[in-house]
Amino acid sequence: MRLGEGRNLLLVALGAMFVQQSFATLGRNLPPVIAPAILADQQLDPALLGIYVGMVAMAALVTQLSCGSFIIRHGALRMSQVSLLLLALALAVATVPPVAFFAISALLCGAGSALSTPASSHLLGRYATAKQAPLVFSIKQTAVPAGLLLSGLVGPLLTGWWGWRAAMLFGAAGCLAFAAMLQPLRRGFDDDRVPTQLFRLSDMHRTLGVVMRGRDLRNLALACGAFSGLQSAFIAFFVTFLVAQGQELAAAGAFFSGATLVAVPGRILWGWVAGAHVAPGRLMGLLAIGMGLSGILLGLAGALDSVLMIGAAALGMSITALSWHGVLLAEAARLAPAGMRGAATGGVLSFGQVGGLVAPLVFALMLSLTGSYGAGFVVSALPALLLGLFMLRGRD
């Protein structure tokens, strides 16, 4: 396929990466969304969901620390295809009867989802100007709530019709189909690849070094860890929490989808604000406080059994904890050393994977100890709240 130049090229890249990220989000989050059906069918403790999500984050951590060289060698478009293929395999493997296959699924899911964002950041960073970047990255990142919306609506619906295994295979088929559809774009978008680039274990250390050497990238990485931890806990446990509150799975999935829908305009709004009105660092501090307070409110709402409070807290989480990504990723790409956008993004996001690993496990521990989902939401929200206060104080 012959690609155009300038704005047309950016639009094609943005459209391709939007759909790629949508399916990657669907692949990663479909199991937690339909978890109540899986847990009931397999007669498993809901706290095990935290272990599954933690294993996904662990695999994603390793992958994001090492993906920079693969993106440079094979190209961002090719690694986007690999991401989708791994996610398709992860969803299919989870349908194999022994429960132990969920561990393999979690590792494949983490590896596949981890490739998605660094690859898309590397590609979009080639074509978006510094002024365009916050809005462009935010538009691309609206694919995450779009994927969550799709998983929240279609997952429970298919589960109700044909069972959770059919829902997982549907997600796998979607990932495979779009991986194939990306192929015509490969030659044009991967013309910057370096076939002689080699992968070494030291690349993981170098990726961390890129992040840790600069104060701004280091602070960005710490913010990513706190934000991703709360986001992961919310996505992993919210639908199961609603079912425990007495809702049917389909209704809980629709509630979840409705709440996450707010993140679509939210991400675009914050990208526009960061690009034209408020410094990205200050904006992220404000969002951190907002998501921390929303998480605490969600915990209190569960204890009070208030549907209105749950709805308000979920909307607050959507506009903050599910909406910061474009601003942070644009900053990571801007601060990255020349030619290392993918590696720097992977390094920053690796801290997010640490948060995504720790927070669900802590949530699961709190659930086991107290029997309360509310306690888990409160504990997951505190790091973001404290970090937000620190970020704003540091800019006064």
Query: What does the alpha-carbon distance between residue 157 and residue 240 come to, in Å, rounded to a whole number?
Result: 16
Q: Is the pTM of this model over 0.85?
A: no
Query: What does the alpha-carbon distance between residue 237 and residue 363 come to, in Å, rounded to a whole number?
Result: 9
In a domain, 194, yes or no: no
Q: Render each residue's pLDDT in the chain as its tens digit; 396 residues.
A: 344 455 678 899 999 999 999 999 999 999 999 999 999 999 888 888 888 988 998 998 888 778 878 898 999 999 999 999 999 999 999 999 888 899 999 999 999 998 998 899 889 888 888 778 778 887 887 888 889 888 888 999 999 999 999 999 999 999 999 999 999 999 889 988 989 887 776 666 777 777 777 778 888 899 999 999 999 999 889 999 999 888 888 888 888 888 888 888 888 888 888 867 788 888 999 999 999 999 999 999 877 778 889 999 999 999 999 888 878 878 887 877 766 666 777 778 888 888 988 999 999 999 999 988 999 999 999 999 999 998 888 555
CATH of the domain at 218: 1.20.1250.20
Contact 369, 319 (CB under 8 A): no
Give the C-alpha distances (Å, rounded to integers) separating 121 from 126, 141, 346, 396: 9, 10, 9, 31
With residue 286 as reference, give the H or E element that holds it: helix 280-304
In a domain, 315, yes or no: yes
Whole domain around residue 40: which residue ranges?
6-189+203-393
What total of structural domains would you count in the chain?
1
Helix runs in 43-142, H state only: 48-74, 76-93, 101-127, 133-141
Residue 184 per-residue DSSP state: G
- Return left, alpha or beta for 163; rule: phi > 0 is left, psi -120 to 50 is alpha, else beta: left
In a domain, 1, yes or no: no
Which token pair is 265? 């305009």
In a domain, 361, yes or no: yes
In a domain, 261, yes or no: yes
In a domain, 172, yes or no: yes
In a domain, 196, yes or no: no
126 exposure class (CB count in 10 Å sphere: 0-12, 13-18, 19+): middle
Give the C-alpha distances (Å, rounded to integers) separating 112 from 25, 64, 107: 10, 10, 9
In a domain, 257, yes or no: yes
